Chain A
Amino acid sequence: MRGKFARIGLASVVIALLAMFAGAGRVGGAAGVAQEKVAATAEVKIDNFSFGPTALTVPVGTTVTWTNRDDIPHTVVSTDGAFKSKALDTDDKFSFVFTKAGTYPYFCSIHPKMTGQIVVQ
């Protein structure tokens, strides 16, 4: 039993340390946001019937651009109606500027198994 408590204690310390580092990271991240505010952009590639990255976190004001690299058309459609692309044929692009913080789940309305989300902070 002592061993188990010891491990839990150690784990708590590790978690606390991780939290501290994560906190430090956020401070740096915030500075980064301030610098990128001028023209923040981010990319999502569509390959093999999937969005990459599937989940993307960006600062408010970021323009996200999707590029379809498949031989089959896809769409980028927000689940709650915030944005909706036309059919994107091969190499077609769609961009949307995220001006409000929030979580934006989206999918391909032609192949609804394809899902992704943009988190705007």
Chain B
Amino acid sequence: MPQNKKDEILHDHNHDGIDRRGFLKCMAWAGTGALCVMQGGVLKSYSMSRANEWNAAKMAGELSFAQISDSHMGFNKAANPDVAATLKAAVDKINALAVQPEFLLHTGDISHLARPEEFDTVDQILRGAVAKDVFFVPGEHDVIGDEGKQYRERYGKGTAGEGWYSFEKKGVHFIGLVNVVNLKAGGLGNLGSEQLEWLEADVKHLKASTPIVVFAHIPLWSVYPEWGWGTDDSAQALSYLKKFGSVSVLNGHIHQIMQKVEGNVTFHTAASTAFPQPQPGKADSPGPMKVPAEQLRSLLGITDVNFVRGQHALAIVDSQLG
């Protein structure tokens, strides 16, 4: 694994006695979104499961938006028989924020089986958000059967290729990437050469001081390739972003919160609004994790876990904000 020396742990506010000098990963499953705040050109991500502990003054920034992910509308198994209710709860939590985010970002797996009625239900729930703009990227569940045709008809207006695009908000350059189509047998997530060329051209004209936020469904870093939690050609994409001082990468897919810092790049994954998935390698497969009903809805199922894998130091997330 490259760049180990640049890995670092940002905070340790949890005071939970876990040895954070070693290789550490904190993760949480909370069924909520994350509030992302751009502060001095650096993106910070706060799990809404701890919104009651937030210090609004400390969190003020030049731009804030909310990330939600993996709503899996249509899923109805034991791990969460009512994914519409938990998505609504996530939207309610966002609506209750003192300062409303400028927009919402959905990092994919909007639907469970890419059925029209599943997308309809999500659209209807998201119309209840105070923030009116929602930006999407597809998850692999959203492109089942048609390689994303329906997804692009619904959400892909003004996008290029398989649905990738970029936009500016308050001086921040946002890039939505698609890494869930044309997947190869035995492989991971895939961006493809056409998208990589587009990305290179898209950022070429930008000043190095421009804060960059990249979002895509499958992690753009190797979280756990054994379970497909990574993207085959993500290194190529990141190489185009080397000149920038502040790069934040937001992903979903793994249904748990993780964060990693590598040089100028901070990687974040978001929790699912639908159901939790196990920690990497801690189960036979990455299938849905069944937790007691009261825990599923309590939004407090935060777990910090020591996780050792190779030479990677994985840092916090979701720190307390006292």
Contacts from A to B (Cβ < 8 Å): 48-50, 70-73, 75, 79, 86-87, 89-90, 105-107, 109-113, 115
Contacts and interface: CB of A to CB of B under 8 A. Distances in A.
B231 to A, nearest CB: 12
B280 interface: no
A73 B288 contact: no
A73 B285 contact: no
B288 A113 contact: no
By DSSP majority rule, is chain A's interface helix, strand, loop, or mixed? Answer: loop
Contacts of B185: 79, 105-107, 112, 115
Contact of A111 (B112, B113, B228, B288): B228
Contact of B285 (A70, A107, A115): A70
Contacts of B284: 48
Contact of A110 (B140, B184, B227, B285): B140
Given A71-B79, A86-B144, A113-B187, 11 more contacts: A49-B287, A70-B287, A72-B287, A73-B141, A73-B144, A110-B183, A112-B184, A112-B185, A112-B187, A113-B228, A115-B186
B188 interface: yes
B145 A87 contact: yes
Given A73-B112, A89-B113, A112 B188 contact: yes
Interface string B240-281: 000000000000000000000000000000000000000000
B285 A48 contact: yes
Of the candidates B183, B184, B286, the one having the most CB atoms from chain A within 10 angstroms of its own CB is B183
Nearest to B77: A71
A73 B288 CA distance: 11
B79 A112 contact: no
Interface of B: 77-79, 112-114, 140-141, 144-145, 183-188, 226-228, 284-288
Nearest to B227: A113
Contacts of B77: 71, 90
A84 B290 CA distance: 31
A107 B187 CA distance: 10
B46 to A, nearest CB: 29
Contacts of A105: 185
Contacts of A70: 285, 287
A81 B184 CA distance: 12
Nearest to B185: A107
A114 B162 CA distance: 23
A52 to B, nearest CB: 12
A49 B287 CA distance: 8
Given A110-B144, A112-B183, A71 B113 contact: no
Nearest to A74: B144
A72 B272 CA distance: 14
25 contacts: A48-B284, A48-B285, A49-B286, A49-B287, A71-B77, A71-B78, A71-B79, A71-B287, A72-B288, A73-B113, A73-B141, A79-B185, A87-B113, A87-B144, A90-B77, A105-B185, A107-B186, A109-B144, A111-B140, A112-B185, A112-B187, A112-B188, A112-B228, A113-B187, A113-B228
A39 B58 CA distance: 71
B67 to A, nearest CB: 22
Contacts of A48: 284-285, 287
Contact of A113 (B78, B141, B145, B226): B226
Contact of A50 (B112, B184, B285): B285
Nearest to B187: A112
Contact of B144 (A50, A75, A113): A75
Contact of A49 (B78, B112, B141, B285): B285
Nearest to A70: B287
A87 B145 CA distance: 7
Contact of B188 (A49, A50, A107, A113): A113
A74 to B, nearest CB: 10
A41 B112 CA distance: 31
Contacts of A113: 186-188, 226-228
A50 B144 CA distance: 18
